């Protein structure tokens, strides 16, 4: 069995080489030193959710982040992005983005007319054939449905919503049957590690082109439900099982796991910033796995704040936070993401 430390060391080496190569390209003017606009923006369209998942990283459904961004604000922001050159990708998340109803499509239309590609993240509970038909007009990198178990019992218990597994599976089938690119995200708990091969089988049967099976990290409600977090032995099992499943489905379905948080953030510190997250209260957050905010779109122009804040990754508070992260579990002893409040730079 491959040890998790060896895998993470290989990932660190790969990441370091990537940073060196990208910096070399920057020095030769093959790659920008900075971007005048983000390449990707994640819209956290609402903090409201039809579930209250025990592992929710941003505590959706608690109304702890007031939805100050109304539909008109999201439309205004989208128009500002288009007017300043547009973005390549928009990630639509929440909360649960499908709770916006037809307002979601009005927001998407503005960016779609400019050629933006979307990535939709949903629990699938509200998915209908009518919504599927409306989604067909847009270009998607993928539509991501969260399914946290090969059977209803574990999924419904984790998401604290009876019938949610059946709804998620049906949503996944509707997406793939419509010819839309389907990704299934699977949060792996200690109780579900041994069932990962069955979960992969379910994802394949649903028509997924990608299964992302990742451990839950200590953020939001998950930080208060530590029994959902993996230990090193379980992490070893996860890594090796994913490797075996990847070989089994090679050429038919890609199987991966979520990125190592520390490596991900170190790359963000070293390389030009390419994206941000807009929260339901208007805050401009640098990352979903790091608690740093550079401004608020309700207070001044997004692009003024992007220009002034895109180099905030060099801030000492971020360096201290990243250095505090344990490399295997992703836990920081300085700050608990989405539990202790954001840090404004």
Alpha-carbon distance 345 to 332, whole Å? 18
pLDDT digits (tens, 9 = 90+) for 154-177: 999 999 999 999 999 999 999 999
Predicted local confidence at residue 328, as pLDDT: 87
Pairing of strands 283-285, 292-296: antiparallel
pLDDT digits (tens, 9 = 90+) for 71-125: 999 999 999 999 999 999 999 999 999 999 999 999 999 999 999 999 999 999 9
Please give the helix or strand (H or E) that residue 119 lies within, else none.
strand 117-122
Our measurement of the distance from residue 311's CA atom to the centroid of its chain's CA atoms, rounded to an integer in Å, reads 22
SS3 of residue 14 by DSSP: helix
Predicted local confidence at residue 64, as pLDDT: 55
Average pLDDT for the chain: 95
DSSP 164-230: HHHHHHHHHHHHHHTT--EEEEEEEPTTTGGGHHHHHHHHHHHT-SEEEEEE--S-GGGGG-GGGS-
Alpha-carbon distance 239 to 228, whole Å? 17
Torsion sign (Cα): 294, 300, 302, 303: negative
Provide CB contacts within 8 A for 330, sequence distance 6+. Answer: 217, 218, 260, 261, 262, 289
Alpha-carbon distance 175 to 208, whole Å? 9
The fold for domain 37-344 equals TIM Barrel (3.20.20)
Q: Kindly state the percentage of the chain with pLDDT values over 90.
A: 92
């Amino acid at each position: 069995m491959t040890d998790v430390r060896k895998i993470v060391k290989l990932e660190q080496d790969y990441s370091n080489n990537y940073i060196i190569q990208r910096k070399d390209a920057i020095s030769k003017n093959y790659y920008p030193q900075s971007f005048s606009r983000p390449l990707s923006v994640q819209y956290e369209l609402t903090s409201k959710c039809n579930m209250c998942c025990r592992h929710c990283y941003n505590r959706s459904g608690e109304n702890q982040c007031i939805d100050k961004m109304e539909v008109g604000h999201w439309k205004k922001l989208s128009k500002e992005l288009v007017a300043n050159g547009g973005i390549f990708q928009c990630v639509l998340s929440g909360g649960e983005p499908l709770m916006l109803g037809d307002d979601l499509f009005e927001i998407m239309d503005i960016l779609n007319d400019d050629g933006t590609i979307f990535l939709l993240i949903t629990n699938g509970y509200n998915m209908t054939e009518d919504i599927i038909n409306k989604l067909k007009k847009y270009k998607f990198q993928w539509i991501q449905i969260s399914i946290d178990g090969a059977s209803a019992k574990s999924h419904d218990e984790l998401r604290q919503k009876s019938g949610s597994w059946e709804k998620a599976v049906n949503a996944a089938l509707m997406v793939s049957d419509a010819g839309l690119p389907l990704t299934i995200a699977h949060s792996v708990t200690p109780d579900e590690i041994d069932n990962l091969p069955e979960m992969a089988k379910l994802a394949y049967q649903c028509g997924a082109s990608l299964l992302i099976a990742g451990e839950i990290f200590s953020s939001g409600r998950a930080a208060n439900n530590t029994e959902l977090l993996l230990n090193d032995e379980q992490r070893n099992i996860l890594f090796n099982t994913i490797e075996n499943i990847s070989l089994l489905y090679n050429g038919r379905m890609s199987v991966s796991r979520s990125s190592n948080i520390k490596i991900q953030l170190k790359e963000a510190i070293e390389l030009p910033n390419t994206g941000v997250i807009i929260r339901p209260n208007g805050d401009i957050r640098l990352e979903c796995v790091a608690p740093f905010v550079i401004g608020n779109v309700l207070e001044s122009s997004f692009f003024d704040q992007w220009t002034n804040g895109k180099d905030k990754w060099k801030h000492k508070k971020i360096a201290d936070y990243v250095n505090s992260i344990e490399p295997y579990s992703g836990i920081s002893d300085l700050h608990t993401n989405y539990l202790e409040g954001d840090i404004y730079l």
